[in-house]
Amino acid sequence: MTSSNVSRRGLLRTAALGAGTLALGGGLSACGAGSPSSAADALTYWDWYVTQAPWVDREIELFEKGHSDVSVKKSTQQNAKYADLVALANRSGNPPDVFMIPQVPSVAEQVAKGWLHPLDEWATPQWQSRFPEGTFLEGANVFDGKVYSAPLKGSGPLYQLYIHHGVFKSAGLTNPDGTVKIPRTWDEVTSAAQTITKKSGGKSYGLGFGNADNIGVLAWWLDLFVRGAGAPGGAPTGAGTGMDYRVGKWTYGTDRSYADFLELFVEWKKRGFFHPNSVSLSDEAARAFFERGKFGMTVGGVWNQPEWTQHKFTDYSLVTLPSPTATPKGYYYADPVGNGSFAAVSAKSKKAHEAFQWLDALTSPAAGRRWVQDLNGVSAYPAGNDPTGIDSKPFAAFVGMTRQVLRGPVPLVRNPDLAGVAPGAPKPDISDVVTGIYTGQIKDVQGALSSLADKKFQLLSDAVAAVAKQGKKVSTADYVFADWDPTKPYTTKKKA
């Protein structure tokens, strides 16, 4: 076993060196002439930002102007392979100086493996104080009291319902003043979808999506519609997310909102409201179909907007949390854990000081403001999220929606030892189940939802038990916040 391990490592090292060389080559070619220092001296930086690349490039340009002795060589890696590449680079002992933190393994594991450089010598209390309160969180970006990262993004509503003005106007869905009648409740969405499908004569459908990429698009629909119905866990596909913290469980099987929405969802399909190719369209194709008015409504995130803006398509609106009633019974909740670990300085960096300067620039309030102005999302700094300064109406609407994001319970604040809990994802997961229900492959909706909820809790219990075995005081009760009202902001208290 030992010898085979050695040879495997050797192979991986060679592969990583190759990948590193290629990446460096890519970075070199991406770098323009006139860099202040030679390629060998440059800071290496890895991310997976493609649509956000113009923002990164501008930040590099501004940073290099302010730091004449430092240059940054950016390598944008493929998102799907990013975690593997970072792991290989670290194993080969040749990681980039600064890198966006991959989602796998967990940040806690990356710290334990010694991949990340603690920022303590630079991240002084004064530096930390520029960020909003609660930014630095043990188990998210702080481990054993040492800071390892800082946030770039703030929390906006993860998903929105997009409304095509042209399609709505063609179907006569307008107010007396000529503006588009925006659907805000489940019934209004049903009614609008029916009108569009009926009046377009087969040219347009009320609703549409692109589920072919297996990125969980149908879970987005479930998430958007059930939160406002009072299921605060929603339906994210992450292994440890989507929980209803009032009970510390996944409530797919016990909260009627899930089955009710899925019943309506199937009803929409049966009545022909959805574009017929929705299951086999890619998300990208669905975006193009929406732009061309093939359907009037779709669900997506703010990431849709840069592409439509590039195509000069801005004739749409967006709403979030369409609910059975006019007032939502639940909201989106801020994600201090996910947002807090954006990028890190490599523990192996020979230019750690310069690397921190680059990380500092990327997470500065000015960079955050430009992040918002370039329509990438909302900033970690609330002051940067002012819709009045934004030209794009749809994006300004999105930024305005941050008001609908409340502070919710954060189990990690209560018990930082939960950072080691890493439950696996069941197969099929929620996005698969919704697809099965939509296509009619799953007939027993309630049974499938209950079974999934049980599986998810079992996986969590196993993961908690594994951490408890290591001598840490963790339990599934750490996820229960019985006093939480999902319609109000909640401040998590630390475990006594």
Partner 1 sequence: MSLLDTRERRRASPPPPPVAVRPGLGRRIRAAKWSYLYLAPMAVLLLAFVVYPIFASFGYTFYRWNGIGAPGDYVGLANFRQILHDGIFWGAVGHTFVYAFVLVPVQLLLALALALVLNNPKLKFALFFRTVYFIPVVTSAAVVGVVIQLMLANFGDSAGSLLAKTGVGDGQIDWLGDPHTALAVIIAIGIWHTLGYNLVYFLAGLQTIPAELYEAAKLDGCGPVQSFFRITIPMLRQVGVVIVVLAFIGSFQVFDLVQVLTGGGPYFATEVVNTYIYHLAFGGSAGAAAQPDIGLASAASFLYGLLLIVFSALQVLALRGISRRRTVANQ
* Chain residues that interact with partner 1, rule: CB under 8 A: 1, 4-5, 8, 79-80, 83-84, 87, 103-105, 113, 211-216, 219, 236-239, 272, 276-282, 285, 424-425, 427-432, 435-436, 438-442
Report the residue number, 365 or 436, with the smaller CB distance to partner 1.
436
Minimum CB separation of residue 441 from partner 1 in Å reads: 5
The backbone region for 230, taken as left when phi is positive above 0, alpha when psi lies in -120 to 50, beta otherwise, is left
- Three-state DSSP at 143 gives strand
Report the residue number, 205 or 381, with the smaller CB distance to partner 1.
205
Minimum CB separation of residue 99 from partner 1 in Å reads: 15
DSSP sequence for 275-313? -TTTTTS-HHHHHHHHHTTSEEEEEE-TTHHHHHHHTT-
Report the residue number, 28 or 112, with the smaller CB distance to partner 1.
112
Are 310 and 133 within 8 A, CB to CB?
no
Minimum CB separation of residue 167 from partner 1 in Å reads: 17
Contacts of residue 432, defined as CB under 8 A and 6 or more positions apart, other chains included, come to none
Of 73, 78, 148, nearest to 107 (Cα)?
Answer: 148
Of 98, 112, 218, nearest to 149 (Cα)?
Answer: 98
Alpha-carbon span 272 to 23, nearest angstrom: 48
Cα distances (Å, whole numbers) of residue 319 to 29, 259, 291, 472: 42, 22, 17, 43
Cα distances (Å, whole numbers) of residue 100 to 45, 69, 86, 403, 457: 8, 23, 9, 27, 30
Minimum CB separation of residue 248 from partner 1 in Å reads: 20
Report the residue number, 365 or 428, with the smaller CB distance to partner 1.
428
> How does DSSP classify residue 478?
G
How many CB atoms are located within 10 Å of the residue 404 CB? 15
Report the residue number, 184 or 294, with the smaller CB distance to partner 1.
294
Counting Cα atoms < 13 Å in the Cβ hemisphere of 491 gives 3
Report the residue number, 93 or 172, with the smaller CB distance to partner 1.
93
Contacts of residue 262, defined as CB under 8 A and 6 or more positions apart, other chains included, come to 222, 434, 437, 445, 449
Amino acid (1-letter code) at residue 136: F
Report the residue number, 79 or 327, with the smaller CB distance to partner 1.
79
Report the residue number, 31 or 212, with the smaller CB distance to partner 1.
212
Minimum CB separation of residue 159 from partner 1 in Å reads: 15
Report the residue number, 220 or 484, with the smaller CB distance to partner 1.
220
Minimum CB separation of residue 302 from partner 1 in Å reads: 18
Report the residue number, 84 or 374, with the smaller CB distance to partner 1.
84
Minimum CB separation of residue 10 from partner 1 in Å reads: 13
How many CB atoms are located within 10 Å of the residue 179 CB? 12
Minimum CB separation of residue 168 from partner 1 in Å reads: 22
Minimum CB separation of residue 242 from partner 1 in Å reads: 10
Are 147 and 119 within 8 A, CB to CB?
yes
Minimum CB separation of residue 112 from partner 1 in Å reads: 10
Are 137 and 118 within 8 A, CB to CB?
no
Alpha-carbon span 336 to 89, nearest angstrom: 28
Minimum CB separation of residue 216 from partner 1 in Å reads: 5
Minimum CB separation of residue 275 from partner 1 in Å reads: 9
Contacts of residue 435, defined as CB under 8 A and 6 or more positions apart, other chains included, come to 211, 218, 279
Report the residue number, 307 or 374, with the smaller CB distance to partner 1.
307
Alpha-carbon span 327 to 494, nearest angstrom: 32
Report the residue number, 123 or 259, with the smaller CB distance to partner 1.
259
